Structure 1
């Protein structure tokens, strides 16, 4: 078979052939055969990928689009940034050829070099108007005899190394199936009778693969039992699952798919043989847990606004607090239930979430519903001012899930676990045709299982900006809350990088740094003391490299409200003298510890200690 021709034996209405004859050029070559084209057939490329709520304009990487029918060229007319019209007629197959530049080493688009290839079909595979519901066959050729291929898509005719053809029942399924290619590490394992595969691209020479697989299996079992009980069996919504992990020097993130996930993490996150894993490994397990939970919550149980997906524009929903936030609540909780961390370790993770939200002034002006709806313009387009104008629907959404779970458990009628399972059954498994989930569905199930209306909680906690009742609910659950001084950066309203000087990355609304006139991009070089301090024998000015230096160089014995100095700041090569008055009293943050609830007997503890 010629390398640039789709197999004539494919027999599928749409057939993509993907090759990479020169991987070092970072160009995927794609041939698309449309068996039965329409007159003036229209094709398009998505502008976003589900799960990552940002218009990314994938078409900017597409080049050299041409078309032929019966061996004769067809005119190609571009209609807008993502759509093309082909001057063809019905009655004969249409063949399109194009190339896609792939040099984005993330989980969202495509990558190709001499060592590795990766792509999401949303970056490579044109949609054929009017035929998105028919079977799509994708055939991938091997760029190198040592490479292998891994994907969650159903194989149709593949070799031992995975290259060959894969069949998707429709475009949505194709779009939701990333491909990993290269000389990767791979291992297989079963979870409740379902085959799973773990693939790692570019791993370090030594890591503890057995531990990673054992912990991943425990997490997957905990998730399956969460959704389907002790005997998941045929109720599991996929027949196989694939983890595709790309390890890098520095990086972290993931993107969920129907029966797979694309992950990226630092090599330091992997466990090492003979060593006790630390927080980095727990972070990786949390990512694995989060993306796996998404196989149910957002890939099957979906926002009504995303049924069906519209790949041509933003798909707005104000429910990301549910789909991302509640998934973030359960990702760490499942680590505990799977035995990957203990109760104290879980509370440390919860503590980080609390600290993150409490350090975001944006929570006072931006509700979770607004944050969800504006993800396209705010969460995914972050800058120095982002913490001042929005709140993370991931992190605060997780705390909302905690508050609802504690409330439901303390009232004694149900749990958030039961609410999630009921919504999954009602708004996915038994919903024909699929319409998706709305906030009204959430409210109805909360009332049905909880025995009362939760309209006030949804109004205040989801659509309002008041503080969540975390302290009251946690104390009732037997968690000790100890007040400790917050880090200096938070006390002074700064996000900064410390070193030879202090690089200001962001300034919090209402903080002392903002009052002094500091701005993102400033370089804080030193401080000048007040005349009264110099008169006592202190040196007049000091170079600083971190916030502790500022504290150290201020003379002792002052009243708190008199702790002031002049900050010496460089901005656009200009030196500025900014008057800085430090907080009268240090801002406090929480330290969460297991309390009396953790020491109760198991049956009693389950009522007040939901993470038991």
Structure 2
């Protein structure tokens, strides 16, 4: 979109300056060229892609307004995130304020002596009545910080070599969908299917192998663009990965032509290290996941998200598709890009399956319900979360797996040469919905077209029901051996614990397990154990102090019951624990490589 000339005042202009590094303060000047007589502004309460009301206005302070002649105007607060100013429409309205930025995540804003980062939803007041007008973002170069650069997905208007200057956005939605990274970051670039891509990494150490990260990311991007468009071009002109490497952290947030990522420094690839660590594999899966969102949720999106309401929750029952199916394809594309072999892919799939099967909430809540409840459950997890809810990411990915393997299996069984796979369904939805609003009915119709039959029963059971998914049968039909292995002790007990400095801390007590029947509660410190009977006392040789969970089996031996000594709110308690029976978990293995390759092997 052509921008105005240099002499034309933009309708909405933000100037973001570094106010105080050590106080973590950005200073923002908002100029509205032609304000309303009673101009209202507001700050979003959430950021698309992260379904929780985060109340960004809590970090906004010292809001003041002025007009021509530097005349101060009264600013009236209307609610938790909205303000209004009575002014003259004939003169520009200037608002100045500060934003506290001390959240080192991908969702809000951060500023210190080493790095700056912000999403527009945290810093940029929304000018009501001007949301569809062009917005200009100006970030001047900080004079006191040498070596800093700036990166963003916004279109540059007038910038220097380091990226500081002004950027244009067609409207408010685009402005807040392009976060900004600042600092002395590492930068590299590549081209994927004719599209320039840039990767910037903050916080990397001297051992970081940037060339390897670029090469692997390029393979992922080329595979995904080819999946969606074949030989055609991607729906964006350039793409930016912003990766923040920290001591401990993980996550990502998708945007229309960029993504913000966070990972552990130790998970970055290292110079001279050819093998792929588990952490680096996880990082590549995150890159794949967020990049896939460029299509699946940023463009092809739930009908409820066709127009965002930034003032409150935006509900949808479709996150099982937009997050869950993306979670299915993220690791699958690592396999198709040649970054994993079949065994490596099965290891990741195995982890997801066991996570879901060890979550009692899968029998309590459907993935459609979990999608709707994301605002109050998934993003507000507590000790009861595994008992009450299921992740639309993990179970949603298994729902995708079931649909994909069902389509492939029925095509092979009925020898339908033109039968489709889930790949075909995804591409058909992209064309059907014109890369826009999608409903579950659209998915159902494209499934039926690909599989030559309706799939209403599967949608009812797998998406809206709480039945177990037919994973074992489907995997076995596609060359995967499903083996049973002894479960770890925590799973057998129905516990999730933390172990630190010789203390076993109970984090979660799972529904229906031996620990719940014994009376354990989240927050208990498990101190030790005693024999439950005199006969057992001879075998156990008295009581024992525990410093880790595995001590239980070491000291209990073959006892059928023990007395668990716990501390709850500083009160000592004795709980009779019946030793649980042996349980098993799954281990997936390659049984028929040729059959698996029909599913995993073909390039997208």
- TM above 0.5, yes or no, is yes
Q: Which residue of 2 aligns with 1:4?
A: none
User: 3-state SS of the aligned residue for 1:25?
Assistant: coil
Residue range with higher mean Cα deviation, 539-548 or 341-350 = 539-548
Give the direction of change, closer, same or farther, for the CA distance of 1:132–1:317 in structure 2 (3 Å limit). Answer: same
Q: Which residue of 2 aligns with 1:3?
A: none
Tell me the CA shift for residue 68 of structure 1.
1.0
Aligned pairs (5 A) from 1:25-424:
25-71=23-69, 72-143=71-142, 144-229=145-230, 231-233=231-233, 236-275=234-273, 276-412=275-411, 413-424=419-430
Give the direction of change, closer, same or farther, for the CA distance of 1:188–1:513 in structure 2 (3 Å limit). Answer: same
Q: Which residue of 2 aligns with 1:591?
A: 587
Q: Is the 8 A contact 2:531 2:537 kept in 1?
A: no
Q: Is the 8 A contact 2:359 2:386 kept in 1?
A: yes
User: 3-state SS of the aligned residue for 1:378?
Assistant: coil
User: 3-state SS of the aligned residue for 1:313?
Assistant: coil
Give the direction of change, closer, same or farther, for the CA distance of 1:287–1:538 in structure 2 (3 Å limit). Answer: closer
Q: Which residue of 1 aligns with 2:414?
A: none
Among 591, 598, 603, the residue aligned to 1:606: 598
Task: Provide the rounded CA distance (Å) in 2 between the counterparts of 1:262 and 1:254.
Answer: 6
Q: Which residue of 2 aligns with 1:488?
A: 489
Tell me the CA shift for residue 209 of structure 1.
1.0
Aligned length: 588
Q: Which residue of 2 aligns with 1:523?
A: 525
Cα deviation, 1:148-169, whole Å, max 9, x if unaligned, reads 0001110000000000000000
Task: Provide the rounded CA distance (Å) in 2 between the counterparts of 1:149 and 1:459.
Answer: 48
Q: Is the 8 A contact 1:410 1:608 kept in 2?
A: no
Q: Is the 8 A contact 2:332 2:600 kept in 1?
A: no
Cα deviation, 1:45-99, whole Å, max 9, x if unaligned, reads 0000000000000000001111111132221111000110111121111111111
Tell me the CA shift for residue 215 of structure 1.
0.4
Alignment TM-score, normalising by the size of structure 2: 0.95
User: 3-state SS of the aligned residue for 1:195?
Assistant: strand
Tell me the CA shift for residue 22 of structure 1.
2.4
Tell me the CA shift for residue 535 of structure 1.
5.3
Cα deviation, 1:521-552, whole Å, max 9, x if unaligned, reads 11001000133335536422001122221111
Task: Provide the rounded CA distance (Å) in 2 between the counterparts of 1:370 and 1:314.
Answer: 15
Structure 2 spans left out of the alignment, 5+ residues: 412-418
User: 3-state SS of the aligned residue for 2:376?
Assistant: helix
Give the direction of change, closer, same or farther, for the CA distance of 1:503–1:307 in structure 2 (3 Å limit). Answer: same
Task: Provide the rounded CA distance (Å) in 1 between the counterparts of 2:400 and 2:434.
Answer: 20
Task: Provide the rounded CA distance (Å) in 2 between the counterparts of 1:405 and 1:46.
Answer: 38
Tell me the CA shift for residue 402 of structure 1.
0.3
Task: Provide the rounded CA distance (Å) in 2 between the counterparts of 1:74 and 1:146.
Answer: 39
Tell me the CA shift for residue 21 of structure 1.
3.6
Task: Provide the rounded CA distance (Å) in 1 between the counterparts of 2:8 and 2:525.
Answer: 62
Q: Is the 8 A contact 1:477 1:609 kept in 2?
A: no
Task: Provide the rounded CA distance (Å) in 2 between the counterparts of 1:418 and 1:508.
Answer: 39
Q: Is the 8 A contact 1:329 1:398 kept in 2?
A: yes
Task: Provide the rounded CA distance (Å) in 1 between the counterparts of 2:603 and 2:478.
Answer: 10
Task: Provide the rounded CA distance (Å) in 2 between the counterparts of 1:537 and 1:586.
Answer: 21
Give the direction of change, closer, same or farther, for the CA distance of 1:477–1:535 in structure 2 (3 Å limit). Answer: closer
Q: Which residue of 2 aligns with 1:551?
A: 553
Task: Provide the rounded CA distance (Å) in 1 between the counterparts of 2:547 and 2:539.
Answer: 23
Q: Which residue of 1 aligns with 2:470?
A: 469
Tell me the CA shift for residue 372 of structure 1.
0.2
Tell me the CA shift for residue 10 of structure 1.
5.8
Aligned pairs (5 A) from 1:5-20:
9=7, 11-20=9-18
Task: Provide the rounded CA distance (Å) in 1 between the counterparts of 2:462 and 2:254.
Answer: 27
Task: Provide the rounded CA distance (Å) in 2 between the counterparts of 1:34 and 1:578.
Answer: 66
Tell me the CA shift for residue 340 of structure 1.
0.7
Task: Provide the rounded CA distance (Å) in 1 between the counterparts of 2:518 and 2:603.
Answer: 44
Q: Is the 8 A contact 1:333 1:611 kept in 2?
A: no
User: 3-state SS of the aligned residue for 1:401?
Assistant: helix
Give the direction of change, closer, same or farther, for the CA distance of 1:393–1:362 in structure 2 (3 Å limit). Answer: same
Give the direction of change, closer, same or farther, for the CA distance of 1:362–1:538 in structure 2 (3 Å limit). Answer: closer
Q: Which residue of 2 aligns with 1:506?
A: 508
Q: Supply the RMSD in Å over aligned alpha carbons.
A: 1.5
Task: Provide the rounded CA distance (Å) in 2 between the counterparts of 1:379 and 1:294.
Answer: 19
Task: Provide the rounded CA distance (Å) in 1 between the counterparts of 2:95 and 2:298.
Answer: 31
